[in-house]
Chains A and B, each alone.
Chain A
Amino acid sequence: MNLKTIIGIGAYVAVLIAASLWVGQQAYGWLPPQATAESMLIDDLFSLFSTIGAFVLLGIAGVVLYTVFTQSVSRFDTSDGPHMEGNIKLEIVWTAIPLLLVFFLAGYSYQTYQQMAVRGPMDLVHLHHLPGSTPTAYAAEMETEPVEEVEVYAKQWAWTFRYPDTGVVSSDLHLPVNRRIRLLMTADEVIHGFYVPAFRLKQDIMPKRVTEFEFTPIREGTYRLNDSQFSGTYFAIMKANVVVESPESYRQWLASAAAQPAVPAENPAYSEYTNKRLKRFGGWKTVEPATPPLVNAISES
């Protein structure tokens, strides 16, 4: 390799590094607001992957485009290129570097996962486990701070949340900010998924089983809860609001809700099903939506 080649490669790599670092910073902007402690960890990891990914993609694309623009010949040119069959050193390098890179990325992801300490789902493969027992090993150490427990019920197609201490039932999920939250989630008939994009967290909810899930909201605001595991006809509108608020307003809300009588909640799936005037093209018989749950606190929006 002569000096010119080395300088050329050096300059190319420098430009690539600068561009990838820029992409890595942009990556934060491709994500929703960070509303949990876990979301910050995930965003940092995503930014790292984006940086490395951009380096790989731009690096390869640059070489390919450079070759296309400098090495193209007329289709009537019948000459051949040099007969290069391979290069053992080069092939070892481009096997070893990706190998090290994926070990690094897997290790880094593993570390992030441990820090998140999402209280994992129970080991559903082993059927002898009792529902609600045996969290995964990675969630072992914490558990000193107080935890706010909320029961989550998913059915086709409605979310309901029950606060065990007060007995309040709500169609919005209210959570105090900066407190560890533990959800005890159950589904009625089919698998649903608990997913709040601003929390970056997702967990399938199995029918007839309690799945525990933990996280810490850190930012007040109203967020969207989606069903993330396809659950049938009205899957798209099985949503709920998640209200993260200060501990004071959270307690106030609980107290005022506890004083309310239970009334049927508003339920988009049920109203769409019973609205006979709604006419769209085609369609077949569907599983009927469950009747709207009775709640003390109806949705605010």
Chain B
Amino acid sequence: MTNVPVEGIKIPDIAHPEPQNNWRKYFSFSTDHKVIGIQYLVTSFVFFLIGGLLSMVIRAELITPPADLIDRTLYNSMFTMHGTIMIFLWIFPSLVGLANYLVPLMIGARDMAFPRLNAAAFWMVPVFGILLMTSYFLPSGTAQAGWWSYPPVSTQNPTDSVITGEFIWILAVAISGVSSIMGAVNFVTTIVRMRAPGMTYFRMPAYVWTVLSAQLIQLAALPALTAGAIMLLFDAAAGTAFFNPEKGGNPVLFQHFFWFYSHPAVYVMVLPIFGVFSEIFPVYSRKPLFGYKVVAVSSLLISGVSVLVWVHHMYASGTPGWMRMLFMASTMLVAVPTGIKVFAWVATIWKGKLRLDTPMLFCLGALLMFVFAGVTGVMLASVPIDIHVNNTYFVVGHFHYIVFGTITMGMFAALYHWFPKMTGRMYFEGLGKVHFILAFIGTNLCFLPMHLAGLHGMVRRVSSYDPEFAFSNVLASLGGFLLGMSTIPFILNMVGSWAQGKPAPDNPWRAIGLEWLVSSPPPVENFEALPIVVSGPYGYGKSDPLVENAAALKEG
């Protein structure tokens, strides 16, 4: 392994031939981590809108008990594609995009460790995204087996063709996995090797710790899913029998492969958002992150425990009793490091000087919804309770409080907070607050009633249901439509502000962090001279300098 000193790393100018503020760079094979970050964010947001549109159709079908809107096969396609798009084409790539933009700036690097690998990983996203979309034009239609794609349902093929929606789905998921592994290698290397002088591990912002923890999970667990997907592909297309009970295969084996990755994946998704909370609460409370070191290390603890909990998705499946008990204990254990974080955030805002700007509102709303999701999560970890609510709308409500109420709301907080840095423009505060209010009400109205329907026994993935669940579903549908509406002020705000918002100063929030010491947007190579870090990341309430050479970071 060559040991290149960070000072020596100079990215050749040839990599950035275009002038800096040329919009065309966003459509090119750029190797600038900031361009790639925004490419990820914009691409994933387009898929967020597509996935959201599918969920509007789902809520329209479910507003009345009978299946009276779309064919049942199309309904099954709707929730399959909704889940797949939201996870693999919105949450994952948007988080990778945010990390791409922020990590090098936050640790004082000029780019990621492997800029070309970074660009290649990004360009796989539109490739598998479009590939997945083409399955709508196949005679077989799209995949219809849910995003879990459990065999034998997923390998049943009523058509004559081998190229089915399911086939395309597995390919797309496999490509997504390759892209994520490439990203993970890059992030871990960047964080370990490219920190600026003086940027020790315990001077890294908590966000960087969470990205490191999340990407380590990707490296450890994602290969299991990729292997499972490839075996499933052979079962579906080549007649092998890894999971086919007719020929002596074992369908439960796939469930293990799938959840061995797909539960830790939840932490891959939520950890960076915990990092966002840890960045934003101090800025808008004007106080240091409470118990920074413990919060930082708890991310790694969450990563560690997260790879030992997957069977809690299979309590009602073919699992023996001892396995159920073991995984109940390990799953509940996740609540401990997570609780440390929650208490630390609450202690951070306690006695602070709170400024309720849009990013802060989104973080506060997301924090409350996350605590609620945590409570229902511990309930789900308990085997006897789970045996009742497993595969019901209780679970659907629970995880939407995580994926929307926590992750997506936290992502919005991050987008507003770093928007001035990314674009050099300020967003419109009024529109931001409208967005928050609509999204907060919409989320609770949509997903809270689902818990009640689930407790009464409404099974998930149904296209029709008994009339006794009608009331919860009408509320959920209205909330869902409100959520759909709430993206309109967001889009107006982002597009309008980028085009003609007020020019942003270097540090509009008076935040502490290396990214706020350079211009908005930062120049191609981020720092004129590499920063020499001399203090910890959250010096609010003190006036210690963060770096020794603040003046030298910026161009003349």
Residues of B within 8 A of A284 (CB): 71, 73-74, 77, 139-141, 144
Tell me how far the C-beta of B320 lies from the nearest C-beta in chain A, rounded to whole angstroms.
Answer: 4
Q: Is the CB of B462 within 8 A of A60?
A: no
A136 to B520, CA, bound (A): 63
A285 cross-chain contacts in B, Cβ below 8 A: 73, 139-141, 158-159
Using an 8 Å CB-CB cutoff, how does the interface string of B215-243 with A read, 1 for contact, 0 for none?
00000000000000000000000000000
Contact of A81 among B319, B353, B383, B390 (CB under 8 A): B353
With a CB–CB cut-off of 8 A, which chain B residues contact A190? 152-153, 156
Q: Pick from B140, B252, B290, B382: contact of A125, CB below 8 A.
A: B252
- On whether the beta carbons of A197 and B388 are closer than 8 Å, the reply is yes
Is A102 in contact with B349, judged by CB distance below 8 angstroms? no
| Contact yes or no, A106 B329, CB < 8 A | yes
Asked whether, in the complex, the Cβ of B153 is within 8 Å of the Cβ of A91, the reply is: no
Cross-chain contact A41 with B384 (CB below 8 angstroms): yes
Q: What residues of B have a CB within 8 angstroms of the CB of A123 in the complex?
A: 320
Cα distance A57–B463 in the bound complex, in angstroms? 33
Contact A81 B352 (CB under 8 A): yes
Number of A-B contacts (CB under 8 A): 332
Interface size class of A (residues with CB under 8 A): 35 or more
Q: Is the CB of A230 within 8 A of B461?
A: yes
Beta-carbon contact of B355 and A73 below 8 Å: yes
Cβ A46 vs Cβ B379 within 8 A: yes
What residues of B have a CB within 8 angstroms of the CB of A112 in the complex? Answer: 384
Option from B146, B293, B355, B464 in Cβ contact (under 8 Å) with A72: B355
Q: Does A64 contact B (CB under 8 A)?
A: yes
Q: What residues of chain B lie closer than 8 Å to A282, measured between beta carbons? A: 70-71, 73-74
**Given A68-B354, A79-B353, A285-B158, CB of A63 within 8 Å of CB of B457:** no
Contacts of B159 in A (CB 8 A): 285
Cβ A82 vs Cβ B351 within 8 A: yes
| Complex: A91 Cα to B252 Cα, angstroms | 41
Quote the shortest CB–CB distance from A130 to chain B (angstroms). 14
Docked complex Cα distance between A190 and B155 (Å):
10
Given the interface pairs A56-B375, A73-B354, A207-B251, the reply to whether A231 lies near B385 with Cβ below 8 Å is no
Write the B126-138 contact mask toward A (1 if CB under 8 angstroms, else 0). 0000000000000
| C-alpha spacing A90/B350, complex, angstroms | 14
Tell me if B182 is interfacial: C-beta within 8 Å of chain A: no
Does A280 lie within 8 Å of B329, measured CB to CB?
A: no
Q: Which residue of the partner chain, among A61, A110, A207, contacts B152 with CB atoms under 8 Å?
A: A207
Contact B316 A228 (CB under 8 A): yes
Q: Tell me the bound Cα distance from A127 to B349 in angstroms.
A: 54
**Given A42-B387, A285-B159, A206 and B461 contact (CB-CB distance below 8 Å):** no
Q: From A208, which residue of chain B is reached at the shortest CB distance?
A: B245
6 chain-A/chain-B pairs, Cβ below 8 angstroms? A71-B349, A86-B291, A94-B340, A106-B332, A197-B456, A228-B390
6 closest A-B pairs by beta carbon, nearest first, are A197-B457, A283-B71, A83-B541, A284-B141, A124-B318, A53-B375
**Could you list 16 further interchain pairs (A-B, Cβ under 8 angstroms) beyond the known A80-B287, A81-B285?**
A46-B379, A61-B371, A68-B354, A68-B364, A83-B539, A84-B347, A85-B290, A98-B336, A106-B332, A121-B320, A137-B322, A190-B156, A193-B391, A206-B252, A283-B72, A285-B158
